[in-house]
Amino acid sequence: MDKLHQALRRHFGYSSFKKGQETIMKSVLEGRDTVAMLPTGGGKSLCYQLPGFLTDGTVLIVSPLLSLMEDQVQQLKMRGEKRTAAYNSVLTYQERDYILKQLHRLKFLYISPEALQSEQIIKRLQTIKVSLFVVDEAHCISQWGHDFRPDYSKLGEIKALLGNPPTLALTATATEATLKDISQMLGLAEASYFIYSVDRPNIALHIENLRDTAAKTERLIELVRKLQGPGLVYCPTRKWTEELAERLTEETRLRTGFYHGGMESGDRMLIQQQFIRNQLDAVCCTNAFGMGVDKPDVRYVIHFNLPQTAEAYMQEIGRAGRDGQQSISILLKAPGDEGIQEQLIQTEALSQHDIDFLYEKLADVKDERALRDILQQSGLSETQARHFVHLYLKVHHLGDDGRELIYREMDSRKHLKLKKMAGFASITESEGCFRRGLLAYFNEELKPRKNSGAACCTYCGLDLDAYETKGDRPFMNELTAWEEELDAIFAAGRDRLC
């Protein structure tokens, strides 16, 4: 047994690697910059955690979601690795200060791209050895990605300030253009690429066309009542998550929660933990839910509306079947669905009048945080504010020319989103194999399916009965009082700093 397999068994109790993991780790351990794409559920976190145990110094992991960071930290703690922490907005000033003072003792530090902009943090990181710089969900760094985060675009500069440590960029869904953008933005001129299929053969892909939204709602109720759970229902808006969760609770008598970005962080953490602990049969959620949920036995993912992009769709259905068991993705469609997503995209974009107004309002403000606060007070969402400030700081010195550049950039991004949305809609409308069309979008060909028992998609003879509950539903754990749940969650957070 070689050193890598011995470490795998010793630290994680596994006897073998998933596809791609060993090759990626060997590249990392050889000190090479590495860009890797593994399907959702493919074990990306192990690709930096195991090398971290085999190298000196601190592994710095840039992660986009609080829930994702907290989940990874808790898992490492449960495996006995106490030298790990997440630096985020939930911590008190005293807790953040404690982490900074203990940096030299940490093996793994998770941090958001926004927190990493702090000059104080960068100066402290410059005093320690960063053995590996990890960018998780690396598609966020790219303007072509489906979840562009402006602060990700600064990671190349920060990496240079830290002495250009070996870098590992990880994603589950990226087109060729996105992968090129990731490498360019991070300054990975000689990176090794390990690109594996986005396909999840154990997830059957089903599409249903219904006459209207009311019919979709009735069909959703029927499906949740019949399907073997637990499951996720992705909704286009925050309002829909709450309304559908209420309908499902009333009409199926199953325990259903809702989750969206407008909830308090404690409430979001509560729903997430209840779902992970088998205290909820289903969660109605926006795309804010998923990345931090390490739950292997999700049996179905239902989309109540057309997702905006093929990348987003593949990310979201990838929450199902992480244990390798047969699971199903169901997309409910009705006339007008594209209009809902188009309206969301148009609403997110700013008009030229909006940009003129905001440009004048920010004229005498220099501090980045103050800029964001002003924009959010003016009615912009956090995402809109971050994107506007990202552009404004690059071009405001150009005066009116800078204003015009912002307008062109935002208009271009809007049209890119509309184009991606139309492209995914076209894939769902094809009468051929749905899986084949999805893979073609990622420049992949559908390979012969070795497991004859695994269903493909609606157009390849999918039988929904195979995914329905047979006999009694699986036992769900008791739903404890929310005060007890939150206390347990935050107690775990406090233990993290001990």
pLDDT tens digits for range 341-353: 888 888 878 888 8
pLDDT at 483: 53
Tell me: do 384 and 406 sit in the same domain. yes
Predicted pLDDT at 494: 47
Residues 182 and 282: their CA atoms lie apart, in Å, by 35
What is the structure's pLDDT at 317? 93
Question: What was the pLDDT predicted at 217?
Answer: 96
Do 348 and 326 share a structural domain? no
Pairwise CA distance, residues 48 & 27, whole Å: 11
Average pLDDT, the chain: 85
Residue 172 or 329, more confident? 329
Check whether 288 has a pLDDT greater than 80.
no
Same domain, 30 and 115: yes
Residue 375 is part of which domain span?
A: 341-420
pLDDT for residue 490 is more than 60:
no
Q: What is the pLDDT of residues 136-172, one digit of tens each?
A: 888 887 766 556 677 777 888 999 999 999 999 998 8
What count of other Cβ atoms lies within 10 Å of the Cβ of residue 491? 10
Q: Among 173, 196, 219, identify where a domain stops.
A: 196
Question: Where a domain ends, among 196, 231, 249?
Answer: 196
Of residues 8 and 491, more confidence is placed in: 8
Q: What's the rounded mean pLDDT across residues 310-319?
A: 90
CATH number for the domain harbouring residue 290: 3.40.50.300
Instruction: Tell me whether residue 459 is in a domain.
Output: no
Q: Is there a domain that residue 466 lies in?
A: no
- Final residue before a domain boundary, out of 398, 420, 442: 420
Q: Are 173 and 426 in contact (CB under 8 A)?
A: no
Q: For residue 1, name the pLDDT band (cuts at 50, 70, 90).
A: low
Q: Say whether both 45 and 163 belong to one domain.
A: yes
pLDDT of residue 362: 83
User: Residue 131 is encoded by which pair of tokens?
Assistant: 């053995």
Q: Could you give the number of structural domains in the chain? A: 3
144 found inside a domain: yes
Average pLDDT over residues 58-85: 82
pLDDT at residue number 496 = 47
Kindly give the interhelix angle for 3-12 and 46-53, rounded to the nearest 10 degrees: 100
Shared-domain flag, residues 172 and 222: no
In this prediction, residue 498 has a pLDDT band, given cuts at 50, 70 and 90, of very low
Looking at the chain, the whole-number percentage of residues with pLDDT higher than 70 is 91
Element (H, E) at 488: helix 482-496
Q: Quick one: 48 and 153 in the same domain?
A: yes
* Least confident piece of the model among 16-20, 24-28, 211-215: 16-20
In this predicted structure, what is the pLDDT of residue 475?
Answer: 55
**Between β-strands 327-333 and 300-303, what pairing exists: parallel, antiparallel or unpaired?**
parallel
Whether 35 and 93 share a structural domain: yes
Q: With respect to residue 453, please indicate whether it lies within any of the assigned structural domains.
A: no
Is residue 350 domain-resident?
A: yes
> Is 410 contained in some domain?
yes
Tens-place pLDDT, residues 352-403 = 888 888 888 887 777 777 888 888 888 887 777 878 888 888 888 888 888 8
79 and 172 assigned to the same domain: yes
In the chain the first and final C-alpha atoms are separated, in Å, by 35
Half-sphere exposure for 44 (CA within 13 Å, toward CB): 30
Q: 323 and 367: one domain?
A: no
Q: Distance between CA 421 and CA 412 in Å, rounded? A: 14
Residues 273 and 324 in one domain: yes
CA–CA separation, 61 and 76 (whole Å): 13
Least Cα distance to 231 among 315, 149, 320 occurs for 320
Same domain, residue pair 54 and 77:
yes
DSSP string, 360-403: HHTTT---HHHHHHHHHHTT--HHHHHHHHHHHHHHGGGTHHHH
Question: Which pLDDT value is given to residue 488?
Answer: 55
- pLDDT recorded at residue 479: 57
Closest to 316 (Cα-Cα) out of 296, 341, 291, 299: 291
- Residue 441 forms part of a structural domain: no
CB-based contact 79:50 (threshold 8 Å): no
Same domain, 278 and 346: no
Is 452 among the domain residues? no
Does the structure show a pLDDT above 70 at 489? Answer: no
Low-confidence winner among 52-56, 223-227, 411-415, 470-474 (lowest mean pLDDT)? 470-474
- pLDDT score of 409: 85
